[in-house]
């Protein structure tokens, strides 16, 4: 299911990123604590009144450096208009309405998207009447906010949530594997997709009446249904799309959200890029199955060690995702492209795998017997029992005497033992500890 997107726009220094951090709360900090995962502060998941949404700070996007401020803001607004379900327009209540605010307002009005106007930096009640000035921008009820103090942000979130689109129904049936192909511009996403669609035994379904989203491509291969998510989006070329690499991360975010399996496409000729890590990190955190495809393998100067070296490099750079299989392709010559769908199917099965409680507990028992949790200040953690509570990704709850006594490194050990016993190739797994009463 797609999460709705809320985009924050506004001039520099009005307090967009302060508001963003305020709304995103502690989540960002938690995410950054995880080793090996770098993450920009431009997007996060927010939630309020039981509704989840993606929050994007368009101010954090890097557009072309040469651009004037006004050009920069225009691009942000363009992006927000294109991608967001709700736009959060931030202005500076102390400065009053500026010409730039007016220009942004005009753009936003043309879009017909819901706009929430947050008048920021009104730190004291006595400043609140400053909001009246902002009625001239033509939006419903400007909301007085102090991002620094956190006042008014609840009202902003109420307004945002009120304008979110209705929850979407599940689009495809349970057995259909939803796949997205994600990667930097020019890595070969559309070439690979076209090659897959052109394969001999792949049957591309005519766009079914039930599929509202014509940008997806349903197909069948060896009796398995797949749908390629957002195949149109990956071909899309526009000004904004080209002007920022970071932008394709935003695009990717939505596709990842709707997928079971994410194919992370890496350019074999150019090597691993920072952006590849970001995308892979998002897929990992979202709990999606992942397959690394190193494309353009035909264009690489090779000896008999090249593939192994590349493999090692991927393992080094994506050390938190050792579970993901790697395949080397050429979308140009078709080399190994036929292996992609079968691998997708394999990791999708692992992603949806369910382990019975009795078998799970046998493995946990063996693991804790051979290596018990180290004792902490004379006390030892004890795992009473565990159970799998979810699939996609496989998620386990372990009941323990005291969660504090089971350190991260021991959880890693348990994860490895579970992988050793059950495979889980291509899928992240999650382990939660609960204190047993
Ligand atoms: P952005 O460029 O729009 O992302 O703005 P920032 O979030 O970086 O904030 C710009 C400046 O305004 C920083 O010095 C913030 O501390 C300050 N600021 C942000 N929100 C508030 C607020 O609610 N009240 C006051 N007094 N200052 C704020
Ligand atoms: P996208 O932006 O990721 O969708 O990339 P495209 O599929 O549009 O490909 C970008 C360029 O790379 C095009 O010129 C392709 O012909 C070329 N290309 C794609 N795959 C391969 C490949 O496997 N080998 C080589 N040599 N070129 C490729």
Residues 308-324: pLDDT tens digits? Answer: 999 999 999 999 899 99
Between the CA of 344 and the centroid of ligand 2 the distance, in Å, is 21
Would you say the CB of residue 245 lies under 6 angstroms from ligand 2? no
Q: Per-residue DSSP letters for 186-205?
A: TSSHHHHHHHHHTSTTEEEP
Q: What is the pLDDT of residue 116?
A: 96
Would you say the CB of residue 296 lies under 6 angstroms from ligand 2? yes
Atom 22 in ligand 2: residue holding the nearest Cα? 296
Atom 18 in ligand 2: residue holding the nearest Cα? 188
Beta-strand relationship, 217-221 and 289-295: unpaired
Nearest to 221 by CA among 393, 332, 354, 348: 348
Cα separation, 203 vs 409, whole angstroms: 46
Residue located via tokens 């709700």? 86
Task: Round the average pLDDT of the chain to a whole number and report it.
Answer: 84
Between the CA of 207 and the centroid of ligand 1 the distance, in Å, is 48
Q: What is the pLDDT of residue 35?
A: 34
Between the CA of 190 and the centroid of ligand 2 the distance, in Å, is 7
Between the CA of 280 and the centroid of ligand 2 the distance, in Å, is 20
Between the CA of 186 and the centroid of ligand 2 the distance, in Å, is 6
Cα separation, 119 vs 96, whole angstroms: 9
Sign of the dihedral through C-alpha 13, 14, 19, 20 = negative
Token pair listed for 369: 């017997």
Between the CA of 4 and the centroid of ligand 1 the distance, in Å, is 26
Nearest to 383 by CA among 366, 392, 395, 391: 366
pLDDT tens per residue, range 56-103? 877 665 555 555 667 777 777 787 777 789 999 999 999 999 998 998
Q: Which residues line ligand 1 (CB under 6 A)?
A: 10, 12-18, 59, 120-121, 123, 146-148
Would you say the CB of residue 100 lies under 6 angstroms from ligand 2? no
Would you say the CB of residue 217 lies under 6 angstroms from ligand 2? no
Token pair listed for 309: 């070296």
Atom 10 in ligand 1: residue holding the nearest Cα? 13
| Residue in 147, 151, 155 to alter for ligand 1 test, most ligand atoms within 8 A of Cβ | 147
Atom 27 in ligand 1: residue holding the nearest Cα? 121
Cα separation, 334 vs 219, whole angstroms: 19
Q: Are 256 and 248 in contact (CB under 8 A)?
A: no
Nearest to 318 by CA among 280, 347, 348, 290: 280
Cα separation, 368 vs 370, whole angstroms: 6
Q: What is the pLDDT of residue 250?
A: 66
Over the Cα atoms of the chain, what is R_g? 24
DSSP 296: -
SS3 53: strand
Q: Which atom of ligand 1 is nearest to the CA of 145?
A: 23
Sign of the dihedral through C-alpha 112, 114, 117, 118 = negative
Cα separation, 244 vs 241, whole angstroms: 6
Between the CA of 105 and the centroid of ligand 1 the distance, in Å, is 20
Atom 20 in ligand 1: residue holding the nearest Cα? 15
Atom 19 in ligand 1: residue holding the nearest Cα? 15
Q: Which residues of the chain have pLDDT under 70?
A: 1-2, 25-44, 59-69, 167-170, 206-214, 231-251, 437
Q: Which atom of ligand 1 is nearest to the CA of 18?
A: 7
Would you say the CB of residue 346 lies under 6 angstroms from ligand 2? no
Atom 24 in ligand 1: residue holding the nearest Cα? 121
Q: Are 436 and 384 in contact (CB under 8 A)?
A: yes
Q: What is the pLDDT of residue 83?
A: 78
DSSP 146: B
What is the ipTM for the molecules in this complex?
Answer: 0.64
- Kindly report whether the peptide bond that precedes residue 393 is cis, defined as omega within 30 degrees of 0: yes
């Amino acid at each position: 299911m797609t999460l709705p997107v809320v985009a924050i726009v506004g001039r520099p220094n009005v307090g967009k990123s302060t508001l963003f951090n305020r709304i995103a709360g502690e989540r960002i900090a938690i995410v950054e604590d995880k080793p090996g995962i770098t993450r920009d502060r431009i997007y996060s998941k927010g939630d309020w009144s039981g509704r989840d949404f993606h929050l994007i700070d368009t101010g954090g996007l890097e557009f072309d450096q040469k651009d004037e401020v006004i050009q920069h803001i225009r691009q942000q607004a363009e992006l927000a208009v294109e991608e967001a379900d709700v736009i959060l327009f931030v202005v500076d209540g102390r400065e009053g309405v500026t010409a730039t605010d007016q220009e942004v307002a005009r753009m936003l009005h043309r879009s017909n998207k819901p706009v929430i106007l947050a008048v920021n930096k009104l730190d004291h009640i006595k400043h609140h009447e400053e909001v009246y000035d902002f009625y001239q921008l033509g939006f419903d009820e400007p909301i007085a906010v102090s991002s620094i103090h956190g006042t008014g942000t609840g009202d902003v979130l109420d307004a945002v949530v009120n304008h979110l689109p209705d929850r979407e129904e599940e689009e495809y049936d349970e057995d259909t594997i939803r796949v997205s192909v994600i990667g930097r511009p020019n890595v070969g996403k559309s070439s690979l997709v076209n090659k897959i669609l052109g394969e001999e035994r792949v049957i591309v379904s005519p766009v079914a009446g039930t599929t509202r989203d014509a940008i997806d491509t349903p197909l069948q291969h060896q009796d398995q249904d797949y749908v390629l998510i957002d195949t149109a989006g990956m071909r899309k070329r526009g000004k904004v799309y080209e002007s920022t690499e970071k932008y394709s991360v935003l695009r990717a975010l939505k596709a990842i959200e709707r997928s079971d399996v994410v194919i992370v496409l890496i350019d074999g000729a150019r090597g691993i890029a920072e952006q590849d890590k970001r995308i892979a990190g998002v897929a990992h955190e979202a709990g999606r199955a992942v397959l690394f495809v190193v494309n353009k393998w035909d264009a690489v100067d090779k000896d008999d060690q090249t593939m192994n070296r590349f493999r090692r490099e991927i393992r080094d750079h994506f050390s938190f995702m050792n579970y993901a299989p790697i395949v080397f392709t050429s979308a140009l010559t078709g080399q190994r492209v036929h292996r992609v769908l079968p691998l997708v199917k394999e990791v999708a099965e692992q992603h949806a795998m369910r382990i019975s409680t009795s078998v799970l507990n046998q493995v946990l028992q063996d693991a804790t017997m051979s290596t018990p949790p180290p004792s902490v200040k004379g006390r030892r953690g004890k795992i009473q029992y565990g159970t799998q509570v979810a699939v996609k990704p496989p998620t386990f709850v372990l009941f323990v005497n005291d969660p504090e006594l089971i350190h991260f490194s021991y959880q890693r050990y348990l994860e490895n033992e579970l992988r050793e016993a059950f495979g889980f190739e291509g899928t992240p797994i999650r382990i939660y500890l609960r204190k047993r009463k």
